[in-house]
């Protein structure tokens, strides 16, 4: 997992200053174990920084996305979710269709990706997988 210092260094390398607002947004993302919407992030920091606007959260998330600090995910519904890009840990997502719980999953596809590469000659650049189901709590209902 990335640290705030590493993220600050990445931003600095891209010519982006780590303002108080950007730092707070990154701290919320670092503390989360699941992707968050801009509204989720805004709700978490609104009390700490009442002058912050939702549009500012969106603007910063878009800036972070442009410099490969965060990734936007279309998991379920129309609302984008954002997560930090952890270059050392590629993962996928398991989503509950009832409560919208999102669980990161380690990637099981490395061997398959190598097989595809060898069989087709393609250079595999990326892949995404979403698995939908019912979490244990929703399954009990």
CATH code assigned at 35: 1.10.10.10
Q: Domain total for the chain?
A: 2
- Residue 96 labeled ligand binder: yes
Give yes or no: residues 15 and 78 share one domain: yes
Boundary residue ending a domain (46, 62, 84): 84
The tally of CA atoms less than 13 A away on the side-chain side of residue 26 is 26
pLDDT at 88: 59
- Residue 107 labeled ligand binder: no
Q: What is the dihedral of CA 74, 80, 86, 88, to 10 degrees?
A: 0
* pTM of the entire predicted model: 0.77
Hunting for tokens 């709700």 — which residue is that?
Answer: 43
**95-126, pLDDT tens digit by residue?**
888 887 888 888 888 889 899 999 999 998 88
| Range of the structural domain that residue 37 is part of | 4-84
Give yes or no: residues 71 and 102 share one domain: no
- Residue 138 labeled ligand binder: yes
pLDDT at 36: 92
CATH code assigned at 128: 3.30.1490.190
Tell me what the pLDDT averaged over the chain comes to. 87
**CA separation for the pair 95, 36 (Å, rounded):** 13
């Amino acid at each position: 997992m990335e640290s705030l210092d590493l993220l600050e260094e990445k931003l600095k390398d891209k010519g982006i200053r780590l303002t108080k607002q950007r730092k707070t947004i990154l701290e919320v993302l670092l503390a989360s174990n699941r992707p968050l919407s801009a509204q989720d992030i805004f709700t978490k920091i609104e009390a700490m920084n009442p002058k912050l606007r939702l549009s500012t959260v969106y603007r910063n998330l878009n800036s972070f996305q442009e410099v490969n600090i965060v990734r936007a995910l279309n998991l379920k519904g129309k609302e984008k979710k954002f997560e930090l890009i952890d270059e050392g840990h590629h993962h996928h997502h398991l989503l509950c269709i009832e409560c919208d719980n999102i669980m990161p999953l380690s990637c099981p596809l490395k061997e398959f990706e190598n097989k595809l590469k060898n069989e087709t000659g393609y250079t595999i650049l990326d892949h995404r997988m979403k698995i939908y189901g019912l979490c244990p709590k929703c399954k009990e209902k």
